[in-house]
């Protein structure tokens, strides 16, 4: 049973096609990661699925409702947390919760239950009376999630929920997402942190408005990078990269921190050739090791094609 089905969804802004013939399915209760660079079309897809934006063509259903004909029913069954922090900073934590609960049309008893739940979940019990603007970003994000969940939505859309949040708060936020998924809520999340993408059941990669790859993190890593990937530890990283990129036997190469990731056809031959060519240029190679490609490697591989 799918929580979301998208078929040939397209959205144009004038001549610019922001979302180009996109199709995918999201299973009920899964964490679905929607990945892509800024401007790839992630937010546009989310907005169409939430009924904030009409589609130019194509169709989609969310929780069984058609986005083109039943946007009101969709709104009652989804939660949405936008990219931009969108609570009222001049209201306190409990005033924000009260307000959104009221807007979602919760009755008073239900509202109090849910507010207590949200405050507990977000770890804001001591901060109920604090002005939202005075909270650290990570806390604000948890409060925003709480607000988006007050009406017990079946599907939650989180548009880059952890942007600008410190690593500890990010981890804490993801723990909340896991809990939601365990409770059967479908979580549709966009991110450009690739370590976060590893937490998702399914990932869909969007580039320039088109889906370029999809599957579980494992599938993506094994299906898309067919050649061995070597991690090279050497001096003069940039110079080495330039040298390696000129070699016709190097399939792909990129810098990862102080290391190089290099794809070659054959692990042993490749590693020998790398040592040779770098030594010729007086570069010391400290070590070469075969690695399992990370999602970042996959991402670069898929989106960096000429």
One of 5, 10, 21, 98 touching other proteins (CB under 8 A): 98
Smaller CB separation from other proteins, 82 or 240: 82
Residue number, 105 or 287, with CB nearest to other proteins: 105
For the bound state, the minimum distance from the C-beta of residue 158 to other proteins, rounded and expressed in Å, comes to 12
The b/e string for 137-162 (b: 16+ C-beta within 10 A; e otherwise) is ebbbbbbbbbbbbbbebbbbbbbbbb
305 makes contact with other proteins (CB under 8 A): no
Give a three-class secondary structure readout of the chain: CEEEEEEEEEEEECCEEEEEEEEEEEECCCEEEEECCCCCCHHHHHHHHCCCCCCCEEEEEECCEECCCCHHHHHHHEEEECCCCCCCCCCEHHHHHHHHHHHCCCCHHHHHHHHHHHHHHHCCHHHCCCEHHHCCHHHHHHHHHHHHHCCCCCEEEEECCCCCCCHHHHHHHHHHHHHHHHCCCEEEEEECCHHHHCCCCEEEEEECCEEEEEECHHHHHHHHCCCCEEEEEECCHHHHHHHHHCCCCEEEEEEECCEEEEEECCHHHHHHHHHHHHHHCCCCEEEEEEECCCHHHHHHHHHCCC
The two tokens of residue 262 are 């290099």
Q: Does residue number 292 form part of the binding site for other proteins (CB under 8 A)?
A: no
**Smallest gap, in angstroms, from Cβ of residue 131 to other proteins?**
9
Does 91 engage in binding with other proteins (CB under 8 A)? yes
Chain residues 47-66 in contact with other proteins, contact rule CB under 8 A: 47, 50-54
CB of 54 to other proteins, least distance (A): 8
Closer to other proteins at the Cβ: 50 or 234?
A: 50
Task: Judge whether 190 and 177 are in contact, CB under 8 Å.
Answer: no
Stretch 116-155: interaction string toward other proteins, x if CB under 8 A: -------------------------------x--------
Nearer to other proteins, 44 or 240 (CB): 44
- Laid out side by side, the sheet with 210-215 consists of 78-81, 155-159, 186-191, 31-35, 202-207, 210-215
Span from 96-104, 119-127, 176-184, 237-245 in contact with other proteins (CB under 8 A)? 96-104
- Nearest residue (CB) to other proteins, 106 versus 203: 106
Return the number of the residue (90 or 166) whose C-beta is nearest other proteins.
Answer: 90
Both tokens of 245, joined, read: 């990129």
The interface region with other proteins, picked from 1-9, 17-25, 103-111, 160-168 by CB under 8 A, is 103-111
Q: Interface residues for other proteins in 63-82 (CB under 8 A)?
A: 71-72, 75-76, 78, 80, 82
Number of residues counted as binding other proteins (CB under 8 A):
33
For other proteins, the closer of residues 103 and 269 by Cβ is: 103
Residue 88 binds to other proteins (criterion: CB under 8 A): yes
Which of 103, 255, 269, 291 forms a contact with other proteins (CB under 8 A)? 103
Q: Cβ closer to other proteins: 25 or 110? A: 110
- Residues near other proteins (CB under 8 A): 47, 50-54, 71-72, 75-76, 78, 80, 82-91, 95, 98-105, 107, 147
């Amino acid at each position: 049973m799918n929580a979301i089905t998208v078929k040939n969804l397209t959205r144009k802004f004038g001549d610019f096609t922001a979302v180009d013939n996109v199709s995918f399915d999201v299973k009920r209760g899964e964490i679905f990661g929607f990945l892509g660079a800024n401007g790839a079309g992630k937010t546009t897809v989310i907005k169409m699925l939430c009924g904030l934006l009409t589609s130019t063509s194509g169709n989609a259903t969310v929780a069984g409702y058609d986005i083109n004909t039943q946007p009101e029913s969709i709104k009652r069954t989804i939660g949405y947390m936008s990219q931009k922090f969108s609570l009222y900073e001049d209201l306190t934590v409990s005033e924000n919760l009260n307000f959104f609960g009221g807007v979602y049309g919760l009755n008073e008893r239900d509202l109090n239950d849910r507010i207590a739940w949200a405050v507990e979940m977000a770890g804001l019990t001591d901060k109920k009376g604090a002005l939202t603007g005075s909270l650290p970003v990570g806390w604000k994000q948890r409060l925003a999630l709480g607000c988006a969940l007050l009406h017990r939505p079946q599907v939650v859309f989180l548009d880059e929920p952890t942007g600008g949040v410190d690593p500890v708060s990010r981890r804490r936020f993801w723990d909340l997402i896991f809990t939601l998924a365990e409770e059967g809520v479908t979580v549709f999340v966009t991110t450009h942190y690739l370590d976060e993408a590893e937490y998702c059941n399914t990932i869909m990669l969007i580039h320039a408005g088109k889906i370029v790859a999809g599957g579980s993190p494992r599938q993506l890593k094994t299906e898309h990078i067919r050649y061995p990937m070597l991690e090279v530890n050497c001096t003069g990283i940039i110079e080495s990269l330039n040298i390696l990129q000129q070699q016709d036997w190097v399939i792909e190469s990129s810098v990862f921190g102080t290391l190089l990731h290099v794809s070659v056809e054959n692990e042993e031959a490749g590693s020998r050739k790398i040592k040779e060519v770098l030594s010729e240029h007086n570069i010391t190679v400290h070590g070469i090791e075969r690695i399992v490609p990370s999602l970042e490697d996959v991402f670069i591989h898929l989106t960096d094609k000429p």
